[in-house]
Amino acid sequence: MRLSDPSAKIYIAGHRGMVGSAVGAALKKAGYTNLIGRTSSELDLRDQAATRAFMAEERPDVVVVAAAKVGGILANDTYPADFLYDNLAIEMNLIEAAHRVGVDRLLFLGSTCIYPKHAPQPMKEEHLLTGELEPTNEWYAIAKISGHKLCEAYHRQHGDDMITLMPTNLYGPDDNFDLETSHVLPALIRKFHEAPDADDMVTLWGTGTPRREFLHSRDLADAVRFVLETPESQLRDVAPDGMLNIGVGEDISINELADVIRDVVSSEADIKHDTSKPDGTPRKLLDVSRMSELGWNASIGLREGIRDVYDWYLDHEKDIVRV
């Protein structure tokens, strides 16, 4: 089956999450009509037997692995075993089951935390495994590295068409705004929204000097669609290791990010820094030349994207669990 065939059966693992829902919307917009998904209550992807049975019954043409246990620095530090085990189990079961049923293509979504803490900037795909990881998220990083390497191994040993996309820091509608487990951008949106006045205070972890790159989930979803429709030979010409960075090629300091969010939210709160908390990796900027060479670039600007997410937050605030 041609991967761009609108009738291709595409299983989106994690279809209700921020990334999975964006991928589903992008594929529907592009004309794909046979998308399937299962909630975690319907299918526990950590269960190998259940995952094998599901894949054998449905026999999808394409699998998009957007299911993962995710969180920020605090969550990674608090639940290292969960982040490592759950993600390893999900990846192993899906990739192995996809091989068993002979899917036409599997797209595995990783994370830029896989790169060494002090990787050269911007980070190229070949910088993988060239240095020590950032300790605050090494558990998640090790799992994602393993997922990519498993895809690479199945391609090398069996010729399976398995491609890894490594997106930079993501944000978008359906993001996690729980202050205990969220990433920095949605956390700051919520913090500034709940601190609108000049006598309010918003606390930033660390010094605020680390630089980060942020990609809207709709841009990632469009990249997934683009890669899905690109022939494997063309992908391998550019990425012989089957790995593609997905980003915008620009970064911003956490202090600068806070200023942009404060402005978008129309908050007058002051900012203070809790320097007892870790900064994490000093800088994480992606080299996106491989995707650019293939013909894809991100299109949503950061301020535009933050405004989009804040509008979504306002529409769904009553449904967001408060802690």
Give pLDDT tens digits for 270-283: 999 999 988 888 89
Q: What's the confidence (pLDDT) of residue 280? A: 81
168 annotated as ligand-binding: yes
Q: Does 183 score more than 90 pLDDT?
A: no
Residue 249 annotated as lining a ligand binding site: no
Rounded Cα distance between 96 and 94, Å, is 6
| Residue 1: band (very low, low, confident or very high) from pLDDT cuts 50, 70, 90 | low
Q: How far is CA 85 from CA 46, 93, 154, 242, 311, in A?
A: 9, 12, 21, 24, 35
Q: Quick one: pLDDT at residue 320?
A: 75
Q: Who wins on pLDDT, 54 or 76?
A: 54
**pLDDT tens per residue, range 204-239:** 989 999 999 999 999 999 999 999 999 999 999 999
Burial 233-262 (b: 16+ CB within 10 A, else e): eebeeebebbbbbbbbbebbebeebbebbb
The domain in which residue 241 lies consists of 10-173+213-250+284-300
Task: Kindly report the average pLDDT of the chain as a whole number.
Answer: 94
- Quick one: pLDDT at residue 2? 67
- Rounded mean pLDDT, 115-139: 94
Q: Give the least confident one: 260-264, 304-308, 315-319.
A: 315-319
**Do the domain assignments include residue 307?**
no
Give every strand in the sheet of 283-284, ordered side by side. Answer: 252-253, 211-212, 283-284
- Residue 323 has a pLDDT of 44
**Percentage of residues in the chain having pLDDT higher than 70:** 98
Please say if the pLDDT value at position 197 is more than 90.
yes
Whether residue 242 is predicted with pLDDT greater than 50 in this model: the reply is yes
Question: pTM score > 0.85 for this model?
Answer: yes
- Output the six-digit token pair for 121: 């900037």
Q: Say if residue 318 carries a ligand binding annotation.
A: no
The answer to the question of residue 208 being in a domain is no
Mean pLDDT, residues 22-32? 98
- What pLDDT band is residue 318 in, cutting at 50, 70 and 90? confident
Q: Flag whether 294 is in a domain.
A: yes
Rounded average pLDDT over 21-26 = 98
Whether 246 is covered by a domain: the verdict is: yes
> Does residue 181 form part of some domain?
no
Mean pLDDT of 60-74: 91
Q: Average pLDDT for residues 175-192, to the nearest whole number?
A: 90
Find the CATH number of the domain harbouring 119.
Answer: 3.40.50.720
User: Is position 313 annotated as part of the catalytic site?
Assistant: no
* Pairwise pLDDT comparison (317 vs 1), residue with the higher score: 317
Mean pLDDT of all residues in 64-83: 89
Q: Is residue 199 part of a domain?
A: no
Extract the tokens encoding 200.
Answer: 């309010």
Q: Is residue 319 part of a domain?
A: no
Q: Is 170 annotated as a binding residue?
A: yes
| Predicted pLDDT of residue 296 | 98
What's the pLDDT band for 181 if we cut at 50, 70, 90?
confident
Q: How many CB atoms lie within 10 A of CB 313?
A: 18
**Does the annotation list 279 as a binding residue?**
yes
Is there a contact between 264 and 306 (Cβ–Cβ < 8 Å)?
yes
137 has pLDDT over 90: no
User: Which tokens hold the place of 109?
Assistant: 């979504």
**What is the token pair recorded at 181?**
């487990």
Residue 265 has pLDDT above 80, yes or no: yes
Average pLDDT value for residue range 22-26: 98
CB atoms within 10 A of CB 280: 21
Burial of 312 (0-12, 13-18, 19+ CB in 10 A): middle
Candidates 140, 171, 310, 313; catalytic one: 140
- Report which of residues 245 and 137 the model is more confident about: 245
* 297, pLDDT greater than 70: yes
Q: What percentage of the chain reaches a pLDDT higher than 90? A: 87
**Residue 26 placed within a domain:** yes
What's the number of domains the chain is made of? 1
Mean pLDDT of 262-268: 97
110 is in an annotated binding site: yes
